[in-house]
Amino acid sequence: MDQLPVGINERIRHEAKVAGLRSKSKPSIEMVERRRMQLWLVVLVVMLGLGAAAVSVSMASGTASWITGQPWILAAAAAALAIGFCLYAVEKEVHLHRLSRLLVDERVLNSEMAKRLEMNSALSNAGKALNSVLDLDEVLDAILANALVLLGGSSGSVMLLEDEEYLRVVAIRGSEIGRDTRVHVGESIAGRVAQSREPLLVTQEVIDGELSGHADRVSAPLKAMCVPLENRGQLLGVLKISCSDDQEFDTVDLQVLSLFAEPVAAAIAKAGLYEAERAHVAQLLDSERMKTQFVASVGHELRTPITSIRGAVAASRRDIGAEKRIELMDMIERQSGRLQTMVEEILASARVDEDAGKPVLRRIDLSALVRLAALDSSVAGRPIEVIAPTSCEVRADPEAMRRILGNLIENAHKYGAEPVRVTVQQADTSVVMSVVDQGRGVAPDERERIFERFYRTDPNGIKPGMGLGLTIVRGLVESCGGTVWVEDAPGGGAAFRVSLRVRSNDELREAASAQ
């Protein structure tokens, strides 16, 4: 009720006037009770007076002949006077009773209006608090804080919907279930509310009846309320509030919580959009940073071979000996090869990002491929030790594996120290290939970052390279269905390990069904 019913104040003034309350101030229940007491005191005095008069007339009838002759006239007059006054008193009592009821109704309505204004004020303050917060965790904590203050609850929780199947606890206050607890939609109190999308006032009867079999999955107090959080027809989660043993919720509290849930859901949706936008901005900033880093790295790396080539070409035009000219041609060839390698790395990195040219997986002999790569590396002046079985088959793309091995071997010689060793270890369903060096190793806080594009453990850029080799390795390994990581090598140094599958998923399923 937002206002008093039309006419109640006029009815109060009318009844007060009829009942004899003509004070300029508004009548109160206390004034009605005083008026009623005065009325019945007057009635008592009048009745006692009439009784005393009747006794006096009876005693005087022996001496007054006119009274003796007409006694019924006096009796009738006294009775009529008494009846008339009683009717007057009853009429006034009826109006006083009506006035009393109207005043009680007015007091109840005023109390309801005050409670509603207090609720609206609390909802408004809660809405302002929620709208002023954009961080999702802060929004959820503010939701619980305002809900508990608004309804006098002792504990509460907010669960958000995940994958249309689960509710995950993302905020708690009091003694509710643990954070990150998951509940299936349709199970427990919260799951039932998420499924029906209807507010629920939890009592012992509800648990014994409708929720029989659900309460044991989630701690469910006997006095609680749970409402869905919906925004534009989309279910976001549920909000549950519990009270202590000496409190009790009713349907009015449930309505208040349902009203509270509307701005809450909007605030959660807004915070979710903010989080998504912030992640998008971070992604754009990261992309811009990588672009700037790419330009700087490529520019720095390309400058050296281009300068060397231009210098060699200029020097070859002068009158120099044949031996010196051959040296310059060798320099041009080496620097051209370096440029070609850089371009190939850039193109390979782009293909990995675009998932283009996806490798065709087939059975290959990894041991033979490792020995061939070691032979090529030794010819190039970078000796490799190989520890591998005679034959070891994996499912991979041979060209991808050659590039993986080449990049890991080059990385070991560039940043590590000899001896460099390649090992192949076979298990039941996987094979682990390791490239191990005896260098300074990789710090634990850098073991994930070294696989990022353009990241280099050599911040001064003394060693050649653009920081794309390990990024390409990870992309190619994952395209072959494997994983790559780095750890400390036994005895010091870094050990880059690549795990590959021996059999395909179909072969694994067939083997499992055969067993």
**Which residues have CB under 8 Å from 137's CB, separation 6+?**
170, 171
**20/142 same-domain check:** no
Instruction: Check if the beta carbon of residue 188 is closer than 8 Å to that of residue 214.
Output: yes
The predicted pLDDT at position 184 comes to 86
**112/158 same-domain check:** no
The CATH number for 495's domain is 3.30.565.10
Cα torsion at 214, 217, 220, 225 (round to 10°)?
A: -60
Of 96, 127, 158, which residue sits at a domain end? Answer: 127
Helix axes 136-151 and 251-316, enclosed angle (nearest 10) = 170
Spatial distance between the Cα atoms of 49 and 38, rounded to a whole number of angstroms: 16
Per-residue pLDDT of the chain (515 residues; tens, 9 = 90+): 344 454 677 777 777 777 777 665 677 777 778 877 877 888 788 777 777 776 676 666 555 444 455 556 666 777 777 787 778 778 888 877 887 887 777 777 776 666 666 666 665 665 565 555 556 677 777 778 877 877 778 888 888 888 788 888 888 887 657 778 888 888 888 888 988 888 888 765 555 444 444 444 444 445 788 899 888 888 888 988 888 777 778 887 888 888 878 877 877 777 777 677 777 777 777 767 766 666 666 665 667 677 778 887 887 777 777 777 787 787 788 778 767 776 776 666 666 555 545 667 888 999 999 998 888 888 778 888 999 999 888 988 888 888 888 889 888 888 888 889 999 998 777 899 999 998 888 888 888 888 877 676 665 555 655 667 788 888 888 888 899 999 988 888 899 999 998 876 555 555 545 55
Residue 418: CA count within 13 A, CB half-sphere: 7
Spatial distance between the Cα atoms of 128 and 150, rounded to a whole number of angstroms: 14
- Tell whether 465 is covered by a domain: yes
The CATH number for 257's domain is 3.30.450.40
**19/123 same-domain check:** yes
**79/137 same-domain check:** no
Number of domains observed in the structure of the chain = 3
Residue 25: give the domain boundaries. 8-127
- Tell whether 161 is covered by a domain: yes
Spatial distance between the Cα atoms of 140 and 125, rounded to a whole number of angstroms: 15
Of 230, 254, 276, which residue sits at a domain end? Answer: 276
Spatial distance between the Cα atoms of 203 and 188, rounded to a whole number of angstroms: 14
Of 127, 151, 181, which residue sits at a domain end? Answer: 127
**373/509 same-domain check:** yes
Residue 4: CA count within 13 A, CB half-sphere: 18
- Tell whether 442 is covered by a domain: yes
φ and ψ of 255, to 5 deg: -65, -40
- Tell whether 225 is covered by a domain: yes
Q: CA angle 338-413-501, nearest 5°? A: 100
Name the E strands within 320-436.
362-365, 384-387, 393-396, 420-426, 430-436
**141/260 same-domain check:** yes
Task: Tell the burial category of 167 from Cβ atoms under 10 Å away from its Cβ (0-12, 13-18, 19+).
Answer: buried
The predicted pLDDT at position 113 comes to 64
